[in-house]
Structure 1
Amino acid sequence: MVSTSLRRRSGHLLLAVLAGTLFVGTAAAHGGSLGAGGRESIQVPTWLFLLTGGGAVGASFLLASFVTDRLFIRELHGWGRDAVVPGRRLLVALGKIAGLAGLAAVLGIGFLGPDAALANLGLLLVWVGWWAGFTMTTYLVGNTWPILDPFRTLSSALPTLDRDYPERFGAWPSVVGLLALIWLEVVSPLADDPGLLATTIVGYGVVTLAGAFVFGPDRWFTTVDPVARVFRYYGRVAPLTRDDETGTLRLRLPGSALTDARLVDGLDEVGFVVALVWVTTYDGLVATPLWADFAPAVVDLGVPPAVLYPLALVVGYLVFFGAYWLAARGARRLADSYVTPAVLARRFAPPLLAIAAGYHLAHYLEYFLSLFPAALAVAPTPLAGPAAGEVPIAVIPGWFGALNLTFVLLGHLLAIWVAHAAAFDRFPGRLQAIRSQYTFTLVMVCYTMVSLWIVSQPSVTPPFL
């Protein structure tokens, strides 16, 4: 076991690295939806900013490499306490009612409420309350979406054909669904048109209920539904997790559940994890000045915007997935192991969920805080609402941008540690475990620099949208 002094020195060095990241620069998270305001560029040279962030992630790998005591790693990730929830059945029933009421409110206010985006409570509930606020609770606290999901509640009350799901499809339909939802969010006025948003939710509900009717709710929501899979994966980052075998809640250290060997089981699920990392990156990328210069140049070459945006989404995803697959192949060679790249890709995919959570927090926390007062202001009169110009929007201080950068780095640092624990769980040899992380760490450093660069850029309106 590593000595106490070594752990103390490693902890002090890690704290120094984290403290340094707080003063890298200032930037605001992307708040593309509802026009919550743009972000400003950082006040230090970009190359220095990116090198500092990438170096912090690389240094965290070196620090983690000092901890090679398997018992210590196992005890750290195995620590947990059963979480007793008094009145659980009542809370579950209330949660289901709240989910159905929320769906009814979003649809009713979306169709009948004000047309102005910032005056429509239904639209604010979806983007500010659900996609920003609720999503943050899934990886900061725990995943309650299976209880709140109104379509799961409705499908459980309907009959089902219980047809066999085609196993060859696996989780790939959820990958396609996630990419399609993000593409629709970016290219359509879903964030500004309450009626269109309500119509889209109705369409999504029809497809979801039809799928649950054919294949059964359990199969549909665990395999196909992209929203349920997003929240389930995010929930594994949280300290409160649900034991799949006993159904009990368990309090663990944040990210500990990501080391569970069967969390990602198959290349299809690896593909979804990579997609989750990429779509948040894509959402921020199209709001950068670089894209504002690049897109018109491509359109001038004869590529219509209707083709450019989905093409960039797919190509970017293939680049992210390809880089991760190359890392898996490189890890096998460097570790000199008989383990196949596919096995390594599955084993090292869960740490990426910490990266996705960190970037989502940096992407949406400021957005949530700035628009939450607007939701409170329009809540008393949801069908009328005040004029858009009278809706209050909180002004977030400039120093808050440093927190956004810290959230990105913390997500990557947690991913490095989880990958370290997974490596020592997978390989019996110390050098094998360390060498297997080289290529994955390199990919994480690249992901870090891309994420930090996007967060550091001023936010602009995507062209042609």
Structure 2
Amino acid sequence: MTVLAHGIGGAGDLPIPLSYALVGAAWALTFSFAILLFAWREPRLDPRSPGIALPRVLTWVVDAPIVRATLSALGLAATVAVLAVAFFGSSDPADNPVPGVAYIFVWVGVMVASLLLGPVWKVLSPPRALHRLVCGLTGRPPERGLLRCPRRWGQWPAALGLFSFVWLELAYADPGSVAAVTTWLVGYLVVTTTGLLLCGSAWSRYCDPLEVYSTLLGRSSAIGRGRDGEFVLRSPLDNLAGTPARIGSVAVAATLLGSTAFDSFSTFPSWRALLADAGGGEFTATVLRTLGLLGFIVIVGAGFHFAARATGGVSRAQRARLPARLAHSLTPIVAGYLVAHYLTFLVEKGQATAILFADPFQRGWNLAGLADRDVAYLLSTHPAVLGTIKVLAVLTGHILGVAAAHDRCLRLLPPSHRLTGQLTLMLLMVGFTFTGLYLLFEA
């Protein structure tokens, strides 16, 4: 199995020419912004809105201690099983499902589930489960640690953790290596568990890269909690408006968006030719890929930082806080590219990874009859449908991002600067849409 074969397709997937899709998406985003300016004049989004109450039994079941304990135990058992396959299974990624578990089930599957259901990694996280177990045995509250988690770090540790993963996937010489993926997984488990034991559950909220990513996307889910803690259905934009402004939140979003853009760009013939002509072997290629990855992340982060600050009517201190306060508007865009970039990867390569679990130790097993199954190419065989889904995912993400930013600007900017203060951010969104679709379909 080629782990990085994301199946993102190309311009041939589109039922219309790529140029039409690019221009149409840019105009759709521009008109959406114009409509918002005239029809949405006062803040409307409220993360505490009552929504539509879901059956109380759902909250009772999800929050039941036995259910939480069972899910934690299953998460720990699955982690032990994956590590056993990693250390004692084949070293060939074509026979070992561990790279697929990391790249497909965790990096994509968990995040898509979070987008639909809320922050599921908080429940499934093996480090959290181990931490709860230790706290239960010692009688120490999970919130309390031996040290206080430095709040001045914000989410920068999570951003660095996310960068380490995308660097492994996109810059390392052999990203499909079982040994390399296992090293990252073990490092993640050790660092996160140690952080939880030292700093309490605050470590996961701020510093765990997977939990921060899952929680970020969970804010765009239609499922939320009411004031009494019961599950409710409400507008994803209302849930998104409750995202706290934290140090490093722009870095987290920029890492996710920039890495996705670089992933598409890295398949361009011109980039591959540059790597081939550079000489110096794999070391030079790795350095160039690292610089390219960093370049895309910095461009996204710096572009958003300066666009968010390009307004008048506020003090210097207020302007400095604007990027963090508006960073939540990037979450729908992250979600849109997650679906557009990885949907085929999840659906089809996910099946291939599951089939490898039929015989994880190469002993001639056929667990659950998986070896008799074939991959069903549900999306690749319908390129026009797939191309349409990609465009709609990207465009929807950008429109929701513009709406979230507009509502927050109505709260933060003085009336005389509400229009001019958003123009630079709007132009950036159009640029993101145009560039993102071009990279996605020309890859």
Shorter-chain TM-score bucket reads: 0.7 to 0.9
| Partner in structure 2 of residue 8 of structure 1 | none
Task: Report the alpha carbon displacement of residue 69 of structure 1 after superposing the two structures with TM.
Answer: 4.6
* Alignment CA distance shift 1:427-1:188 (3 Å): closer
**In 1, Cα distance between equivalents of 2:23 and 2:278:** 30
1:151 to 123, 127, 140: 127
- Give CA deviations for 1:226-282 in whole Å, capped at 9, x if unaligned: 111111111101112347x8654342212322222x62233x223223223222222
| Partner in structure 2 of residue 316 of structure 1 | 296
Instruction: Say whether 1:344 aligns with 2:344.
Output: no
* Alignment CA distance shift 1:318-1:47 (3 Å): same
1:106 to 78, 82, 106: 82
Tell me which amino acid in the other structure corresponds to 1:123.
P
* Alignment CA distance shift 1:246-1:176 (3 Å): farther
Task: Report the alpha carbon displacement of residue 37 of structure 1 after superposing the two structures with TM.
Answer: 4.7
Instruction: Say whether 1:192 aligns with 2:163.
Output: no
Instruction: Say whether 1:61 aligns with 2:33.
Output: yes
| Partner in structure 1 of residue 425 of structure 2 | 440
The secondary structure found in structure 1 opposite 2:239 is helix
**In 2, Cα distance between equivalents of 1:201 and 1:189:** 18
Task: Report the alpha carbon displacement of residue 362 of structure 1 after superposing the two structures with TM.
Answer: 0.6
Is the Cα–Cα contact under 8 Å of residues 6 and 344 in structure 2 kept in the other structure? no
Task: Report the alpha carbon displacement of residue 308 of structure 1 after superposing the two structures with TM.
Answer: 1.4
* Alignment CA distance shift 1:246-1:304 (3 Å): farther
| Partner in structure 2 of residue 273 of structure 1 | 253
**In 2, Cα distance between equivalents of 1:127 and 1:404:** 20
The secondary structure found in structure 1 opposite 2:327 is coil
Is the Cα–Cα contact under 8 Å of residues 333 and 394 in structure 2 kept in the other structure? yes
Is the Cα–Cα contact under 8 Å of residues 110 and 120 in structure 2 kept in the other structure? no
**In 2, Cα distance between equivalents of 1:315 and 1:382:** 38
| Partner in structure 2 of residue 410 of structure 1 | 396
Task: Report the alpha carbon displacement of residue 358 of structure 1 after superposing the two structures with TM.
Answer: 0.4
**In 2, Cα distance between equivalents of 1:117 and 1:303:** 22
1:305 to 271, 274, 285: 285
Task: Map 1:213-362 onto structure 2 (within 5 A).
Answer: 213-216=197-200, 218-242=201-225, 247-260=229-242, 263-266=244-247, 268-297=248-277, 304-330=284-310, 332-333=311-312, 336-338=313-315, 340-362=318-340
User: What is the Cα-based RMSD across aligned positions, in Å?
Assistant: 3.2
**In 2, Cα distance between equivalents of 1:258 and 1:171:** 17
Task: Map 1:155-170 onto structure 2 (within 5 A).
Answer: 155-158=131-134, 162-170=146-154
| Partner in structure 2 of residue 365 of structure 1 | 343
The secondary structure found in structure 2 opposite 1:255 is helix
Tell me which amino acid in the other structure corresponds to 1:424.
L
Task: Map 1:66-215 onto structure 2 (within 5 A).
Answer: 66-70=38-42, 73-74=44-45, 78-83=49-54, 84=56, 85=58, 86-87=60-61, 88-89=63-64, 90-158=66-134, 162-188=146-172, 192-215=176-199
* Alignment CA distance shift 1:290-1:247 (3 Å): farther
Which range moves more in the overlay, 343-352 or 366-375?
366-375
* Alignment CA distance shift 1:36-1:170 (3 Å): closer
User: When the two structures are superposed, what TM-score results if normalisation uses the length of structure 1?
Assistant: 0.80
Please list every run of at least 4 consecutive aligned residues from structure 1 whose deviation after the TM superposition is greater than 6 angstroms. Answer: 385-391
Tell me which amino acid in the other structure corresponds to 1:39.
G
Is the Cα–Cα contact under 8 Å of residues 423 and 433 in structure 1 kept in the other structure? yes
Task: Report the alpha carbon displacement of residue 411 of structure 1 after superposing the two structures with TM.
Answer: 0.6
Tell me which amino acid in the other structure corresponds to 2:51.
G
Tell me which amino acid in the other structure corresponds to 1:273.
A
Gaps of 5+ in 2: 136-143
- Give CA deviations for 1:336-371 in whole Å, capped at 9, x if unaligned: 344732232222211101000100111111111212
| Partner in structure 1 of residue 408 of structure 2 | 422
Tell me which amino acid in the other structure corresponds to 2:99.
L
Tell me which amino acid in the other structure corresponds to 1:312.
G
Task: Map 1:374-393 onto structure 2 (within 5 A).
Answer: 374-384=352-362, 392-393=374-375
- Give CA deviations for 1:404-433 in whole Å, capped at 9, x if unaligned: 12111111111111112212233452x533
**In 1, Cα distance between equivalents of 2:255 and 2:6:** 26
The secondary structure found in structure 2 opposite 1:78 is coil
**In 2, Cα distance between equivalents of 1:146 and 1:401:** 33
Is the Cα–Cα contact under 8 Å of residues 79 and 253 in structure 1 kept in the other structure? no
**In 2, Cα distance between equivalents of 1:75 and 1:425:** 12
Tell me which amino acid in the other structure corresponds to 1:145.
W
Tell me which amino acid in the other structure corresponds to 1:197.
V
Gaps of 5+ in 1: 1-30, 459-465
* Alignment CA distance shift 1:192-1:317 (3 Å): closer
User: When the two structures are superposed, what TM-score results if normalisation uses the length of structure 2?
Assistant: 0.84
Tell me which amino acid in the other structure corresponds to 1:121.
P
* Alignment CA distance shift 1:367-1:346 (3 Å): same
**In 1, Cα distance between equivalents of 2:404 and 2:170:** 32
Is the Cα–Cα contact under 8 Å of residues 142 and 235 in structure 1 kept in the other structure? yes
The secondary structure found in structure 1 opposite 2:224 is strand
Tell me which amino acid in the other structure corresponds to 2:32.
S
- Give CA deviations for 1:7-33 in whole Å, capped at 9, x if unaligned: xxxxxxxxxxxxxxxxxxxxxxxx972
**How many pairs does the alignment contain?**
419
Is the Cα–Cα contact under 8 Å of residues 118 and 124 in structure 1 kept in the other structure? no
Tell me which amino acid in the other structure corresponds to 2:320.
A
Is the Cα–Cα contact under 8 Å of residues 355 and 415 in structure 1 kept in the other structure? yes
Task: Report the alpha carbon displacement of residue 374 of structure 1 after superposing the two structures with TM.
Answer: 2.2
**In 2, Cα distance between equivalents of 1:138 and 1:202:** 23
The secondary structure found in structure 2 opposite 1:264 is coil
- Give CA deviations for 1:280-313 in whole Å, capped at 9, x if unaligned: 222332233342234345558x992232122222
* Alignment CA distance shift 1:79-1:432 (3 Å): farther
* Alignment CA distance shift 1:311-1:195 (3 Å): closer
